[in-house]
Structure 1
Amino acid sequence: MSGCSTEHGLITVDQALDLILEQTHTLATEKLKLNQALSRYLAEDVYSSINLPLFSQSAVDGYALCAQSSIEPNTEFNLIGEIQAGHSSELKLKAGQAVRIFTGAKIPFGTTTVARQEIVQVIDASRIKIMENLKANADIRDVGEEISIGQLLASKGQQLSVGAIASLSMAGISTVEFVQYPKVAVVITGDEVAESVEDFATGKIFDANGPLIEAWFQQVGQQIEIFHVADTEDAVKSLIQKLSKSYDLILTTGGVSVGDYDFIRPVALDIGFEQIFWKVKQKPGKPMFFAQLERNDRSHCYLLGLPGNPAAVYVGMQIYTSSLLNALQGQKQQPKWFSAVLTHDVKMDGRERFLRMSASFDQSILKVKSLSKQQSHMLSNLMQANCLVRIPAGQSLREGDIVHGLFIH
């Protein structure tokens, strides 16, 4: 075996991911309102300061009753009032008395059970009859039955989902401490980007990387700033130097290989960035570059340089950018690879490959199938792909072999 697969200095995918997790410093924390916190990571444990329910309340529309024992069919009660949800009442029930009550309303003092309205016959304005057997404490939501004061609601490091935000809001939590989200600058390098169809006559192409990255960040609900820079050393150096002063992460596409116009790496090193790794034994995306700069205030700027081919950018975003963003927020763990059954043979390659595949269940077994047009300059199969599958270096795989992958959106 020869060529780039045995090139000196290449590290493995797992080594690259480990270096990202080990070398990345967690950002500072900030207080946020819950409506700003979707997908953010908690910087502290969150405990309840209240009981849920706050008070004993009715679980149904019906009647609060006071009885000395279980209630038999045809038992009558005197109706003495009504309590709506959200309204307070000083009513107190005595044996044989009832109050009309609605879902969520506070149970009046003396209530022993609640009868849902479907089993109640209204005799007249002051009397009702219960038509079925009714046990004590039926359809009553007891104070604190879901959450009690001091109970742990959410743990440090937990990522807030829609459901988690709703749960915390119901418990009266309005603001929480979170790890800051990285301030991200995206730099698209190259003179070859076309702005119109007419530009094709001069050998230019449409830009896929900018829209790809912008959409990826929109998907995770985060804002970024995108910059385009010409393929000149001075232009690249000026921009990277400027961005390194105020951004937590500079994400670049193109300019990280060894061509005459690949300036990202030499410029970054000249500015003062420390190389963590350069070149990964993978396909697509071998000439990936990761470096860090420690600023005067001891904060850090990270630079993740992705190759220019759009498929390599896509793989880099799904695996490395995602891991780096999580690490900056204190989540230092490898991607969560799934296991699946391969539906066809795959030839050997000297580098580990990430193939765009289609995953589906067949009789409760997750299976994956490769798609055509896997070259690094091609993206059309992303119309069908829903996962990236790892194909180990130096191995031929057979139909039925177990492989590992990552779901994509």
Structure 2
Amino acid sequence: MSGCGAESGLITVDQALDLILDKTQALAVGQLALNQALNHYLAEDIYSEINLPLFSQSAVDGYAICAQAELEPNAIFELIGEVQAGHHSALQLKLGQAVRIFTGAKIPVGTTTVARQEIVKVKSSSTIAITESLKNHADIRDIGEEIAIGQLLAKQGQKLSVGAIASLSMAGVKAVQVFQYPKVAVVITGDEIAENVEDVASGKIFDANAPLIQAWFEASGQQIKIFHVADTELAVRLLIQDLSERYDLILTTGGVSVGDYDFIRPVTLSLGFEEIFWKVKQKPGKPMLFAHLKREDHSSCYLLGLPGNPAAVYVGMQIYTTTVLNALQGYKQQPNWFSALLTHDLKVDARERFLRMSASFDQASLKVKSLSKQQSHMLSNLMHANCLVRIPAGKNMHEGQIVQGMFID
């Protein structure tokens, strides 16, 4: 098979991802307040220092009761007081006694069961009756039934989601050790960027890459700095040299192929970066560069060079940028791919393709359908795409075959 995707020396997508994971070293570890640690990766295992619940408590608004056995309807109890949530009470129940209790309140000593208020009839200020049968130990949350002291709450390498932060907060965790988030510089290359309609008339184009990347990082609450650079070797050299001294990751778009004005790769190598890979057997995004610079203080700067076409940038962000950022934070795993059924035939291509598709469930099966306008300079189908799907190189794909993909926002 001939064509630009069939040239020798190209590595596969999985080989590129494995190289990123193997060659990228995690950044330093630091402590953050838990409420500032969203989307960071844990650098330690966390064990509970408390029981949850902290004490046995009522699961409902009702009445704590002391009885010998399961209760029959119309059982009568003496009402001796009230226990509110968050308030200490020294009340102790004896056989035949009850107290008014509220959800989350500590169970008094002597309690054998709790009757929810819907099955209790207040007969007087000091007497209640149970209107339904009631089992022993009903609606009592036992101390430590969810979490016990010493139990593992979260593992090193776990990403702190909203739910994880809520769970740790409930367990009394106030601060966590996390991997430092990388400082990221984004370099947009090219003289062809239009600032207004008049620029477009002169042959320039509007920039999609900078807004795409800015929004991509903002979606996960991460801060970056964007730089634009002209297509001259000197300008590229001065900027990359400066950024390599101050940032953990330099992400570039454009200027990474073999054209007369593609200076990213030669400049990067001349500045002492070690090339980890260049060119991946994929479509879009073949001319991709990943390189590493070891600084004099033994810290590192990584450079991920993406092609300039917007669809290639989008694919590169979803798959490769995510992998690099995760690896810098100690999480070294390839992307999680789902499996789905292809709903139509696809022609063969020399390179593995990432197609923007629409995924939906049909009769309990996940199915994917390719969208039109897949060329690397086109983005309009992202209005409707909810996944990227991997189509293997060198294979005619048919309806009903299983493919891998990832969901996108």
Q: TM-score range by the shorter chain?
A: over 0.9
Name the amino acid aligned to 2:83. Answer: I
Equivalent residue runs for 1:18-29 within 5 Å: 18-29=18-29
* Residues 217-250 of structure 1: CA deviation (Å, up to 9, x unaligned): 1122211111111111111111111111121100
**Partner of 1:71 in structure 2?**
71
How far apart are residue 71 of structure 1 and its match?
Answer: 2.4
Name the amino acid aligned to 2:394. Answer: G
SS where residue 111 of structure 1 aligns?
Answer: coil
How far apart are residue 290 of structure 1 and its match?
Answer: 0.6
Matched, 1:287 2:283: no
Name the amino acid aligned to 2:348. Answer: M
Matched, 1:404 2:404: yes
SS where residue 200 of structure 1 aligns?
Answer: helix
How far apart are residue 135 of structure 1 and its match?
Answer: 2.2
**Partner of 1:136 in structure 2?**
136
SS where residue 235 of structure 1 aligns?
Answer: helix
How far apart are residue 9 of structure 1 and its match?
Answer: 2.3
Name the amino acid aligned to 1:221. Answer: G
Whole-angstrom distance in 2 between the partners of 1:390 and 1:314: 14
Name the amino acid aligned to 2:360. Answer: S
Whole-angstrom distance in 1 between the partners of 2:132 and 2:339: 54
TM-score norm. by structure 2 comes to: 0.97
How far apart are residue 403 of structure 1 and its match?
Answer: 1.5
**Partner of 1:196 in structure 2?**
196
Whole-angstrom distance in 1 between the partners of 2:369 and 2:133: 59
* Residues 67-106 of structure 1: CA deviation (Å, up to 9, x unaligned): 2333222222121111111111111222222111100011
**Partner of 2:255 in structure 1?**
255
* Residues 300-356 of structure 1: CA deviation (Å, up to 9, x unaligned): 100000000001101101111111111111221211112221111111111111111
* Residues 15-69 of structure 1: CA deviation (Å, up to 9, x unaligned): 1111111111111111112212222211111100001111111111111112233
How far apart are residue 283 of structure 1 and its match?
Answer: 1.1
SS where residue 52 of structure 2 aligns?
Answer: coil
Change (3 A) 1:72 1:400: closer
**Partner of 2:91 in structure 1?**
91
SS where residue 340 of structure 2 aligns?
Answer: strand
Matched, 1:333 2:340: no
Matched, 1:387 2:387: yes
Whole-angstrom distance in 1 between the partners of 2:320 and 2:221: 18
Whole-angstrom distance in 2 between the partners of 1:114 and 1:23: 59
Whole-angstrom distance in 2 between the partners of 1:388 and 1:106: 52
* Residues 136-164 of structure 1: CA deviation (Å, up to 9, x unaligned): 21111111111111011111111122111
**Partner of 2:298 in structure 1?**
298
Matched, 1:114 2:114: yes
How far apart are residue 117 of structure 1 and its match?
Answer: 0.8
**Partner of 1:234 in structure 2?**
234
Whole-angstrom distance in 2 between the partners of 1:283 and 1:154: 38
TM-score norm. by structure 1 comes to: 0.97
Name the amino acid aligned to 2:97. Answer: Q
Whole-angstrom distance in 1 between the partners of 2:80 and 2:37: 47
Equivalent residue runs for 1:125-204 within 5 Å: 125-204=125-204
How far apart are residue 203 of structure 1 and its match?
Answer: 1.0
Whole-angstrom distance in 2 between the partners of 1:268 and 1:127: 84
**Partner of 1:35 in structure 2?**
35
Name the amino acid aligned to 1:182. Answer: P
Matched, 1:346 2:346: yes
**Partner of 1:51 in structure 2?**
51
Name the amino acid aligned to 1:177. Answer: Q
Whole-angstrom distance in 1 between the partners of 2:290 and 2:58: 59
Whole-angstrom distance in 2 between the partners of 1:40 and 1:123: 56
Name the amino acid aligned to 1:152. Answer: L
Any unmatched runs of 5+ in structure 2? Answer: none
How far apart are residue 399 of structure 1 and its match?
Answer: 1.7
SS where residue 50 of structure 2 aligns?
Answer: coil
Structure 1 window deviating more from structure 2 (54-63 vs 31-40): it is 31-40
Structure 1 window deviating more from structure 2 (229-238 vs 246-255): it is 229-238
Name the amino acid aligned to 1:21. Answer: L
How far apart are residue 3 of structure 1 and its match?
Answer: 3.5
SS where residue 324 of structure 2 aligns?
Answer: helix
Name the amino acid aligned to 2:61. Answer: D
Name the amino acid aligned to 2:21. Answer: L
Whole-angstrom distance in 2 between the partners of 1:169 and 1:92: 31
Whole-angstrom distance in 2 between the partners of 1:145 and 1:349: 56
How far apart are residue 167 of structure 1 and its match?
Answer: 1.0
SS where residue 163 of structure 1 aligns?
Answer: helix
Whole-angstrom distance in 2 between the partners of 1:377 and 1:364: 35
SS where residue 356 of structure 1 aligns?
Answer: strand
SS where residue 255 of structure 2 aligns?
Answer: coil
Name the amino acid aligned to 1:70. Answer: E
Name the amino acid aligned to 1:392. Answer: P
Whole-angstrom distance in 1 between the partners of 2:371 and 2:71: 67
Whole-angstrom distance in 2 between the partners of 1:91 and 1:379: 68
SS where residue 199 of structure 1 aligns?
Answer: helix
Name the amino acid aligned to 1:365. Answer: S
Whole-angstrom distance in 1 between the partners of 2:152 and 2:136: 31
- Deviating beyond 3 angstroms after TM superposition, the runs of 4 or more aligned structure 1 residues are none
Equivalent residue runs for 1:95-106 within 5 Å: 95-106=95-106
Name the amino acid aligned to 1:268. Answer: T
Name the amino acid aligned to 1:349. Answer: D
Name the amino acid aligned to 1:340. Answer: A
